[in-house]
Amino acid sequence: MLSIDLLDPAEIDRAVDIFHRDGFVAIKNALSPELLAKAQAGSERVVQEQLDTIALEDANRGYARYSFGSQIHHPEWAMLIDLPTTLPIVEKILGQDLVCFGGGGDYSIPGAKIQRLHSDVGEFLNDPKQKVTFQDLPTFFVVINFLMCDFTVENGAIRFIPCTHRTRDIPPSLEDEPEWMQNNHTCAPAGTAIIRDVRCWHGGTANNSDHPRVMTSVGYFAPWYNRNEVTAEKMPMSIYSGLSERAQYLSRRIVEKSG
């Protein structure tokens, strides 16, 4: 099991330092009991909807392992955009003019096997001299994962490999992965937020429990990272209009336009 510090949301500077060092940082009590209950209800609803239509063997991340896909059109995801427990940390990492690109997450059902280590982004600079790669850039893409249940070794907690967000190495195959990497389970209680540079190597582990292991997410681009990737599912105006002024500004590229 990976030993991590669970930081208080007020420890902003320390959280940023750990993030830049390790490629991720865990924030405890990021969701109040009320918000956690709402997020859990929303994620359970969507999980059931997807399980009703997608068989375990057809799951999009391997047997019994699913990516939520874009869910920012649901209020249980939209409410995560400007949380006072997490947004100040991300703003200090990326800058005040950051952009929300959407939300999703993933879940594994009992029976899911270990997943290969991977990064969530690939090379896009295409330097003809091959001297500069995307790993040489400062953080440009941050995802916050919110744990919907206690993450344990038994239920398939995500494993992270610290300090891999700036490496030029490639993640090993499962066959070549050393045992210490396979055992780097990030165990933390429900309501914890894991703020991560998407380049950091990570992967799911086997779910040997009797319940789904679920985490939701919301993500942000740095203001200078002017790319076209935004969520496939737009945020309805009915959701957007109920957000705070700050959340509306952050969601400016994903709101459903009319007229």
For residue 234 the two structure tokens come to 């737009």
Q: What is the mean pLDDT of residues 182-202?
A: 97
- Domain membership of residue 239 (yes or no) is yes
Q: What is the largest CA-CA distance in the chain?
A: 56
235: amino acid identity, one letter = M
Q: pLDDT value at position 130?
A: 85
Residue 227 has pLDDT above 70, yes or no: no
Confidence (pLDDT) at 259 = 42
Q: What is the mean pLDDT of the chain?
A: 94
What are the structure tokens assigned to 203, written together? Answer: 């992967």
Task: Answer whether residue 185 is part of any domain.
Answer: yes
Rounded Cα distance between 205 and 201, Å, is 13
- Token pair for residue 119? 């990064």
- The answer to whether position 256 is within a domain reads no
User: Which range of residues forms the domain containing residue 184?
Assistant: 6-250
Q: Is the pLDDT of residue 194 over 70?
A: yes
Q: Compute the distance between CA of residue 165 and CA of residue 178 in angstroms, rounded to an integer.
A: 18
255 lies in some domain? no
**Residue 129 or 146, more confident:** 146
- 169: domain CATH number is 2.60.120.620
Lowest-pLDDT choice from 9-13, 88-92, 129-133, 173-177: 129-133
More confidently predicted of 227 and 189: 189
pLDDT at residue number 231: 56
Choice among 11-15, 143-147, 210-214, 232-236 with the minimum mean pLDDT: 232-236
Tokens describing residue 128: 């003809």
pLDDT band at 88 (very low <50, low <70, confident <90, very high): very high
The alpha carbon torsion through 137, 225, 25, 40 (nearest 10 deg) reads -150
127 domain residue, yes or no:
yes
Residues 42, 48, 53, 55: what is their CA dihedral angle, to the nearest 10 degrees?
A: 130
Residue 215 lies in a domain: yes
The answer on pLDDT for 226 being more than 80 is no
The total number of structural domains in the chain stands at 1
**Which of 217, 214, 20 shows the shortest CA–CA distance to 120?**
217
210-225 confidence digits (pLDDT tens):
999 999 999 999 999 8
Q: Is residue 112 part of a domain?
A: yes
DSSP per-residue codes, the chain: -----EE-TT-HHHHHHHHHHHSEEEETT-S-HHHHHHHHHHHHHHHHHHHHHS-GGG-BTBTTEEE----TTSHHHHTTTT-TTTHHHHHHHH-TT-EEEEEEEEEE-TT------B-S-------TTS---GGGSPP-EEEEEEESS-B-TTTT--EE-TT-TT--S-PPPTTT--HHHHT-B--B-TT-EEEEETTS-EE-----SSS-EEEEEEEEE-TT---S---SSPBPHHHHTTS-HHHHHHTTTTBPP--
- The string of pLDDT tens digits covering residues 20-48 is 999 999 999 999 999 999 999 999 999 99
* 248 pLDDT tier (thresholds 50, 70, 90): very high
**Could you give the C-alpha distances from 196 to 43, 49, 110, 138, 244, in angstroms and in order?**
21, 28, 25, 13, 24
Please say if the pLDDT value at position 126 is more than 50: yes
Cβ atoms of 156 and 203 within 8 Å: the answer is: no
Q: Is 259 part of any domain?
A: no
Distance of alpha carbon 169 from alpha carbon 196, whole angstroms: 18
